[in-house]
């Protein structure tokens, strides 16, 4: 290959490279023209690029406003969630207090029923699932009247028959 042929081929290659570069630029500008909203309908490359720049600025401003808005909304949401959590904790606390008070009243009611049942001759406490509340005479109690402390202590105990053979109940009575 001669130096003239080599120079001509090099020039042709350069033209082809430039043609591809211009084609890529034109394709990019045409794509921008399709993407960017077109107010005037201009097809000129300069006008398309100018509209693209304006549109990008507009999008950035909107993004900044949206970020600010979302940040504020998130802060307000976090504050509302904190307030709701505090309210929930307070309601749970009140519910627990009410539950404890209800249990205490149920124990008192059971004790009163037991005392009333004993005094009227009704020795059955099965309706309140309590163990017998009288103390043996040898331990200082009478056989027919329960001690109020003993009634309150026994109401929370499991009913007779829940343990093996009642030996647990006998142990409790001996300890008391």
Residue 142: the pLDDT is 46
Task: Spell 92-128 as b/e; 16+ CB within 10 A means b.
Answer: eeeeeeeeeeeeeeebeebbebbbebbeeeeeebeeb
Backbone dihedral region of 15: left (phi > 0), alpha (psi from -120 to 50 degrees) or beta?
A: alpha
Per-residue pLDDT tens digits for 159-169? 444 444 455 55
DSSP 152-171: HHHHTSPPTTSSSSSHHHHH
Rg (the chain; Cα; Å): 46
Answer yes or no: is pLDDT of 101 > 90.
Answer: yes
Percentage of the chain modeled with pLDDT above 70: 66
Residue 151: the pLDDT is 46
Q: How many CB atoms lie within 10 A of CB 171?
A: 11
Residue 110: the pLDDT is 95
Contact 115, 146 (CB under 8 A): yes
Cα–Cα distance list, 102 to 32, 50, 80, 105, 113 (Å): 73, 76, 32, 5, 16
Determine which of 36-45, 55-64, 80-89, 151-160 has the lowest per-residue pLDDT on average.
151-160
pLDDT grade, residue 62 (50/70/90)? Answer: very high
Strands annotated E in 21-108: none
Per-residue pLDDT tens digits for 127-155? 444 444 444 444 444 445 445 454 445 44
pLDDT grade, residue 60 (50/70/90)? Answer: very high
Contact 174, 130 (CB under 8 A): no
């Amino acid at each position: 290959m001669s130096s003239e042929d080599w120079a001509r081929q090099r020039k042709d290659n350069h033209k082809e490279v430039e043609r591809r570069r211009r084609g890529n630029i034109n394709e990019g500008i045409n794509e921008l023209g399709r993407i960017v909203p077109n107010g005037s309908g201009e097809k000129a490359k300069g006008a398309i690029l100018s509209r693209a720049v304006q549109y990008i600025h507009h999008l950035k401003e909107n993004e900044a406003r949206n970020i600010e808005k979302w940040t504020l909304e998130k802060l307000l949401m976090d504050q509302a969630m904190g307030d709701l959590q505090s309210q929930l904790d307070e309601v749970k606390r009140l519910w627990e207090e009410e539950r404890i008070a209800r249990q205490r009243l149920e124990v008192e009611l059971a004790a009163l029923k037991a005392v009333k049942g004993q005094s009227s001759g009704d020795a059955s406490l099965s309706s309140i699932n309590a163990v017998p509340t009288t103390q043996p005479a040898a331990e200082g109690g009478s056989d027919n009247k329960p001690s109020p402390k003993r009634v309150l202590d026994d109401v929370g105990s499991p009913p007779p028959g829940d343990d093996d053979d009642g030996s647990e109940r006998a142990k409790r009575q001996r300890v008391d």
